[in-house]
């Protein structure tokens, strides 16, 4: 096992290219279960999570060849059981439920795992699949679904904290091979859902309303193979933006769509940052003095919960008081204790974090509790005085492709050591 060692206080310079989107790649890989034909997927990030999905697809009977610039998936699924040992490590793998059921008429999928950021039930997935006419049972930690033929339906898929990206993906994939039309109300609007819809349409699916709260899917009898490029990772891009802000560095971020980051950019402009935005790049112009700014996370197009921890790290070193509220995962605050170990002054009150910004953080040994907390600690460590050691960095490898290497090329003093 390795740890990250960071020597803080070194500004970033130059430019960085954003990798493909993890949260788009996982459901797109799962969607290949809907066809026996060959699918070629480009810009798939090489991550622990994407490789877990590759292992899961292989266990379900798919043939996968990983090339330098693409992943080729072929053959139809021959096994309908998604085993606990794979699904339990990554919540995103639960989205094989819909395509397996649609293609084989049955699916047995372990209840999911992933980062420990609060309760994330699968009730909306089950509600949507049931609405398509499937029979659902639970057996020893597995969801068991069956249907001779799925039937389109009009359903409401909103939950207590808004729409669900994975539930929308699961139902949308299942609906592509159902009889008749399916209309999903309160569908997730995230760019990752648009990516999935575009891939399904490239396979021959009939979908309207992608990127809106109402998605209509007209079922077809068969889907074919497709050649598709995954879009860039907006969360990785947002993380680099927040890194630059924390280090008061002017850098260029390439291969990103600024339209996917408007909620973040708006808040950072409020704090005093300036940007030059073009079609696929963002140039950052950082002020030496930022103002504290409060945020509330919401489903897209609101402020992303996946950037909450990183934003908190920035506000922890921005003098003044800010309030951070998470309306998506109200318990996603495990990183507070680790930031406080570095000298931050943050206290939790329910689903709110009250951040009293300090002038300087100080390096310390800290523990990564989840994927996004890992990058928040990197931000804090790079801006802090002294040396920071981050343990349990396997969380980081689930969602960031070579993040430490990218940072090192821009001047950061960051390297790996054996524990």
**25 and 235 Cβ atoms separated by less than 8 Å:** no
How many C-beta atoms surround the C-beta of residue 81 within 10 A? 15
Q: How far apart are CA 63 and CA 48, in angstroms?
A: 19
Across 255-335, where does the E strand assignment appear?
Answer: 274-277, 281-285, 295-297, 320-326
Is residue 189 annotated as a catalytic residue, yes or no?
Answer: no
Distant-in-sequence, close-in-space partners of 20: CB < 8 Å, separation ≥ 6: 43, 44, 45, 230, 231, 232, 233, 401
Q: Between the CA of residue 261 and those of 137, 267, 315, what are the distances in Å?
A: 40, 10, 18
Distant-in-sequence, close-in-space partners of 412: CB < 8 Å, separation ≥ 6: 6, 10, 12, 382
- Residue matched to tokens 């005093």: 272
Catalytic residue selected from 95, 115, 189, 286: 115
Q: Between the CA of residue 384 and those of 58, 227, 333, 344, 412, what are the distances in Å?
A: 44, 45, 20, 10, 12
Residues catalogued as catalytic: 115
């Amino acid at each position: 096992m390795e740890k990250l060692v960071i020597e803080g206080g070194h500004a970033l310079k130059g430019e960085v290219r954003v990798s493909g989107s993890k949260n788009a790649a996982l459901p797109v890989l799962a969607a290949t279960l809907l066809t026996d034909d060959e699918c070629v997927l480009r810009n798939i990030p090489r991550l622990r999570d994407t490789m877990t999905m590759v292992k899961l697809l292989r266990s379900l009977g798919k043939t996968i060849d990983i090339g330098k610039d693409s992943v080729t998936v072929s053959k139809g699924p021959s096994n309908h059981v998604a085993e606990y040992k794979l699904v339990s490590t990554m919540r995103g793998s639960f989205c094989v439920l819909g395509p397996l059921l649609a293609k084989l008429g049955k699916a047995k999928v372990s209840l999911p795992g992933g980062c420990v950021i609060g309760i994330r039930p699968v009730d909306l997935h089950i509600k949507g699949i049931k609405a398509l006419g499937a029979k659902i049972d639970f057996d020893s930690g597995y969801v068991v679904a069956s249907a001779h033929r799925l039937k389109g339906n009009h359903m409401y898929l909103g939950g207590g904290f808004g729409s669900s990206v994975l539930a929308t993906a699961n139902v949308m994939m299942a609906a592509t091979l159902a009889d008749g039309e399916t209309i999903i109300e309160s569908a997730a609007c995230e760019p990752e859902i648009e990516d999935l819809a575009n891939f399904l349409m490239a396979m021959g699916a009939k979908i309207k309303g992608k990127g809106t709260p109402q998605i209509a899917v007209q079922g077809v009898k068969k889907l074919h193979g497709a050649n598709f490029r995954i879009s860039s990772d907006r969360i990785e891009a947002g993380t680099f933006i927040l890194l630059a802000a924390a280090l008061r560095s002017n850098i260029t971020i390439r291969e990103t769509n600024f339209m996917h980051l408007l909620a973040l950019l708006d808040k950072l402009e409020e704090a005093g940052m300036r940007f030059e935005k073009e079609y696929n790049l963002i140039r950052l112009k950082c002020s030496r003095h930022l103002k504290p700014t409060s945020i509330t996370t919401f489903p897209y197009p609101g402020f992303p919960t996946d950037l909450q921890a990183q934003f908190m790290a920035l506000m922890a070193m921005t003098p003044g008081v800010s309030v951070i509220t998470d309306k998506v995962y109200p318990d996603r605050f495990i990183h507070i204790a680790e930031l406080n170990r570095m000298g931050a002054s943050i206290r939790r009150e329910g689903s709110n974090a009250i951040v009293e910004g300090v002038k300087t953080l100080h390096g310390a040994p800290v523990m990564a509790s989840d994927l996004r907390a890992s990058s928040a600690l990197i931000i804090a460590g790079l801006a802090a005085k002294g040396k920071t050691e981050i343990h349990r960095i396997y969380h980081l490898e689930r969602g960031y492709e070579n993040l430490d290497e990218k940072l090192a090329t821009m001047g950061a003093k960051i390297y790996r050591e054996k524990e």
